């Protein structure tokens, strides 16, 4: 988990410098940034809260209904506005269904790009 935040090389160096793979021991050294030292405990806390929110005082949570989507694979790059129109949804809705699409088109050099569309479209 620390490597997700700091990078694999940085954590490998921290393990080597500390002489241990125990995160909690490495955390007590200067081998990792404060951001990375705090990242793992924050992630663990978020997981615990997500598993039992009421235990931690989160009692008035309104959950959204799960999205009812199908996933299709595109063989070639396509403009997002064209995909939204074909799926029968607004551009904004389509982007919400596909947060990995950060540009105006699907990635130009990728084939079989997974795209979420409303179920049955």
Predicted structure pTM score: 0.58
| Residue 28: predicted pLDDT | 95
pLDDT at 109: 86
Reported as a single tens digit per residue, the pLDDT across 30-46 is 999 999 999 999 999 99
Residue 87: closest CA among 77, 98, 76? 98
Average pLDDT, the chain: 93
Nearest to 56 by CA among 45, 72, 67, 41: 45
Domain boundaries, given as residue ranges, for the chain:
2-56, 69-118
Task: Find out if CATH 3.30.200 is the number for domain 69-118.
Answer: no
3-state secondary structure of 119: coil
Which of 24, 41, 45 is closest to 14 using CA atoms? 24
Category of 120 on φ-ψ map: left (φ > 0), alpha (ψ -120 to 50) or beta:
left
Residue 111 is predicted with a pLDDT of 85
- pLDDT (tens digit, 9 = 90+) per residue, 62-116? 988 888 899 999 999 999 999 999 999 999 999 999 999 999 999 888 889 999 9
């Amino acid at each position: 988990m620390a490597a997700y935040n700091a990078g694999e090389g940085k954590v490998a160096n921290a393990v080597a410098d500390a002489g241990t793979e125990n995160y909690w021991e490495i955390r007590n050294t200067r081998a990792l940034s404060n951001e990375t030292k705090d990242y793992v405990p924050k992630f663990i806390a978020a997981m615990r809260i997500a598993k039992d929110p009421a235990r931690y005082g989160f009692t008035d949570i309104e959950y959204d209904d799960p999205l009812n989507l199908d996933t299709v694979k595109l063989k070639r790059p396509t403009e997002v506005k064209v995909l939204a129109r074909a799926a029968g949804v607004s551009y904004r809705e389509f982007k919400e269904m596909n947060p990995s699409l950060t540009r105006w088109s699907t990635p130009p050099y990728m084939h079989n790009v997974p795209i979420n569309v409303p179920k049955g479209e």
